[in-house]
Structure 1
Amino acid sequence: MKPIILIIACFCILSVQAQTSGTKATLNDKSLVKDSSGMIYPYAIWQRLYQTGEYGIRLLNAASDPQEFLLYRFSEEQMKVREASMPKPRESTFFRTGNTLRSVKMVTMDGKKYNLKELTGKVVVLNFWFINCPPCRMEIPHLNKMTDGYKNREDIVFLAIALDQSYELKEFLKELPFNYGIVDGGGYIAEQYGVKAFPTHVVLDKEGKITFHTMGYGAGTVPWLKKSIDAALGPQALGTE
């Protein structure tokens, strides 16, 4: 199986603040992007920051050549408003909302055994990924932050199904911990479900039905994951951070 890597956020990067006060402005690798202190950011850096969904970019000086843009971080309140208004990410082509998954047995790297058919009564969150997938790596810190809000709950299971082998993952996770239960050598599971693009996310409700699924990573991925998890958990989910 040849994996397809998707970064949904990249498709909108060039249209950020395309018009300000009637002036057209296009963001590209030649744009001059700086923060309020005047520090200039290389293209690869500001693009990655923007893709996290925690930063905005607006036109600062249309008359300059190249045009100047301001990179700014959203406040916590701005983030909440922004996340609440984000459109739902497109569904993956591998799953169908309302269906149940064929049961599969999994063992995480820390020795915990799971069987999907035995997880009825729990919300299950699946992430299909692999180490050499840039958007997979990019979303991990944000997924970790999300899971922190559920760390005291026993009715939710987070499983990250990796294509990589344990010896590769052990080295990778030393540098970038991932707070999901890590299933190594999960290529056969991805193939069983027909997953061919990464990352792919799936949320199963307490009856084992698919309530949310998407492929790729964009600014709306994690907020909609959390919305879907909270909806699946029910009223008791209120108050999670």
Structure 2
Amino acid sequence: MNRKRISNIIFLVAIVLLVIPQTRRPIQVTLHKALAIFNSPSIIKETQRTKLKDYNWSLIDETGKSYNLKNSKGKVIIINFWATWCPPCIAEMPSLQKLYDKYGDNAEFIFVTDDSIDKIEAFKAKNSYTFPVYQTASNPPDGLTTKSIPRTVIINKKGEIVIDKSGAVDWYNSKIQEQIELLLKASI
């Protein structure tokens, strides 16, 4: 066989694998995991940061308990908008779980999705995730509305958005950990 024929066969196999639902998602997740390494969030300069004016945002956790973002005012907050069906969301979840494992006692982690509780529970159980997941009960404050997922926002104790990144990211990298350490040590 010549090279052109081999490359055509490989191309056709790749297309077929991307069309079949059972193989499409794992391929997409793997590609997004690879891309996440290069999709590094940048720290927003202090002079360009948006400050939350309103923390009034009602959420409902997986058990049906109400929660309001006002309870997190004055803390470091990490908010992730995601869905169980979203390949880039799935790709970044292991790194977010590691971040939660390391900083969950010191920072507020809020994972927001519109998925049903059944889907959330199954997804978390399948992947052994322990982070808290919420559904919205009211519109988010200005600065936290989103039309694309995944989107992760890190807010300092003063209510300023320090990091705002869409797309799959390796959130357990040293740059992010250093920034969270600085935010946790900072006073209001």
Distance 1:88 1:48, change over 3 A: closer
Aligned length: 157
- Larger relative contact order, structure 1 or 2 (CA cutoff 8 Å, min sep 6): 2
Give the unaligned 5+ runs of structure 1.
1-28, 31-43, 54-85, 237-241
TM-aligned CA deviation for residue 191 of structure 1: 9.3
TM-score norm. by structure 1 comes to 0.53
Structure 2 CA distance for aligned equivalents of residues 108 and 233 of structure 1: 24
Deviations 1:59-95 (CA, angstroms, capped at 9, x unpaired): xxxxxxxxxxxxxxxxxxxxxxxxxxx7852689xxx
Higher fraction of helix: 2
Distance 1:204 1:126, change over 3 A: same
TM-aligned CA deviation for residue 49 of structure 1: 5.9
Distance 1:208 1:49, change over 3 A: closer
Equivalences for 1:223-234 in 2 at 5 Å? Answer: 223=173, 224-234=175-185
Contact 1:163 1:187 in 2 (8 A): no
Partner in structure 1 of residue 41 of structure 2: 89
Structure 2 CA distance for aligned equivalents of residues 140 and 191 of structure 1: 24
Partner in structure 1 of residue 54 of structure 2: 102
Equivalences for 1:41-190 in 2 at 5 Å? Answer: 44=27, 47=31, 50-51=34-35, 53=37, 88-89=40-41, 97-100=49-52, 102-103=54-55, 104-110=57-63, 113-151=66-104, 153=105, 155-184=106-135, 186=136, 189=139
Distance 1:191 1:118, change over 3 A: closer
Corresponding residue SS for 2:164: strand
Partner in structure 1 of residue 150 of structure 2: 199
Deviations 1:17-73 (CA, angstroms, capped at 9, x unpaired): xxxxxxxxxxxx77xxxxxxxxxxxxx4974663463xxxxxxxxxxxxxxxxxxxx
Structure 2 CA distance for aligned equivalents of residues 163 and 232 of structure 1: 29
Higher fraction of strand: 1
Identity, in percent, stands at 22
Corresponding residue SS for 2:84: coil
TM-aligned CA deviation for residue 173 of structure 1: 1.8
Structure 1 CA distance for aligned equivalents of residues 116 and 30 of structure 2: 32
Contact 1:90 1:215 in 2 (8 A): no
Deviations 1:146-202 (CA, angstroms, capped at 9, x unpaired): 222224x3x411110012121221222221233321003x38546974301110001
Contact 2:77 2:109 in 1 (8 A): yes
Corresponding residue SS for 1:117: helix
TM-aligned CA deviation for residue 115 of structure 1: 2.1
Contact 2:76 2:154 in 1 (8 A): yes
TM-aligned CA deviation for residue 100 of structure 1: 0.9
Structure 1 CA distance for aligned equivalents of residues 30 and 58 of structure 2: 41
